[in-house]
Amino acid sequence: MHRCPDARTSRLRASILAVLTGALMGLSGCASKLNLEPPGYDAEWEKRLDSLAEAYISRDVDKVLSFYDEENYSLSFNQTYKFDTGKKSARQSLAERFKVVQLGRLSFGPDTQVWKRDSGKVWTLRSLEIDANIINGDQIKFKGKHSAIWEQKNGAWIIGYEHFWGDPQITRVAAAPVPPPAPAPPPGPPELASIAEAQGYLKDIYFDLDKWNIREDQAETAVKNLEFLKKYPSVEFTIEGHCDDRASRPYNIRLGEKRANEVKDYLIAGGIAANRITTKTFGKERPFAQGTDEDSRQSNRRAHFVVTKK
């Protein structure tokens, strides 16, 4: 709206001074220096000041600027400023200040004093209270005096000079603590080089004759298989159920199916997605060992893992 010191603290400490682009100075002796007659009350000027407050509350730049002499505005004694006219227009300058300060309340008091001069100018003096919020969270309260010298231009009364007297009370918002940086996620497992590598981690689970429950001595193998499959959730696989050479083919097909499904159910209960698992039974058709001794037959009673996707 006009040229003021660029220091950010000056703008923030001034609240309305940031919006009104004011500066605080002492007011004593003003009337005597201007050689004015004793002041009087004038309802017209009280209404005009109320309209000025309403314009600021509306945050309408055009309404606010309609109260000011954009060419010759000055602020405080012996400090002459003009509205920005080069790189920034008055409207742009005021709009930027409205982004910094949000007015909660701006109101004039009931003690309007008006001096009328022979030159046609009018001087007004009135108490002023402001509650404002700064975009950084600070709150400012201003309670003091506002004075202005008005003159007529193009049939309208506008402010050519403005002065504020008072001290803003600033309540600063404590800076939010900076949260500690989030811990780095733990490194993922090394990528599997091939299906064959994944196949090497999954071990067969063995069963007793005519049984399909996982034996106690096979629990450790089952747990290690489960942990590997949790670590590599992209691995998909088939569980094959196998039997030894005894009993009929249909019996062993059903028994191999039960063994494959028993291991599948164990893995699903441990958190492995069912859509990663396929089951298949071979009964006694694909023996691992060809002998009929107990060691060979034990080798053939198994659930065997076949990795299909790493």
The ranges assigned to domains in the chain are 8-171, 195-309
Ordered mean pLDDT values, 10 residues apiece, the chain (310 residues): 40 39 34 55 91 90 88 62 50 76 83 87 92 83 90 91 81 77 87 92 96 95 97 96 96 97 97 96 95 94 96
Is there a contact between 243 and 301 (Cβ–Cβ < 8 Å)? Answer: yes
How is 136-167 classified by DSSP, letter by letter? TS-EEEEEEEEEEEEEEETTEEEEEEEEEEE-
For the domain bounded by 8-171, which CATH number is listed?
Answer: 3.10.450.50
Q: What is the pLDDT of residue 138?
A: 83
The tokens describing 16, both together, are 């309305």
Is the domain spanning 195-309 CATH 3.30.1330.60? The answer is: yes
307, amino acid identity: V
Whose CA is closest to 213, among 307, 284, 299, 303? 303
